[in-house]
Amino acid sequence: AAHSYTQGNPRLIDNLMTDAFAIGSQRKCKVIDADIIRDAVENQALD
């Protein structure tokens, strides 16, 4: 999911994963799964 959205662009990967880690932390998740990545993609689209 992350690679599809970012097309391998390192800056986009960094931004996406920063959002994903923040979402995972807020939800107290131990694993960043595809649902969290999708939510991070939605956040990126809103920015």
pLDDT in tens, 31-44: 999 999 999 999 98
Distance in angstroms (rounded) separating the CA atoms of residues 41 and 7: 13
Say what the pLDDT of residue 5 is.
Answer: 87
**Those residues with Cβ within 8 angstroms of residue 34's Cβ, 6 or more apart along the chain or in another chain:** 1
**Those residues with Cβ within 8 angstroms of residue 25's Cβ, 6 or more apart along the chain or in another chain:** none
Say what the pLDDT of residue 3 is.
Answer: 86
Q: Is the model's pLDDT at 45 over the cut of 90?
A: no
Distance in angstroms (rounded) separating the CA atoms of residues 44 and 16: 7
Q: Is the model's pLDDT at 25 over the cut of 90?
A: yes
Distance in angstroms (rounded) separating the CA atoms of residues 12 and 7: 8
- Give the SS3 label for residue 30: coil
Say what the pLDDT of residue 1 is.
Answer: 78
Say what the pLDDT of residue 15 is.
Answer: 95
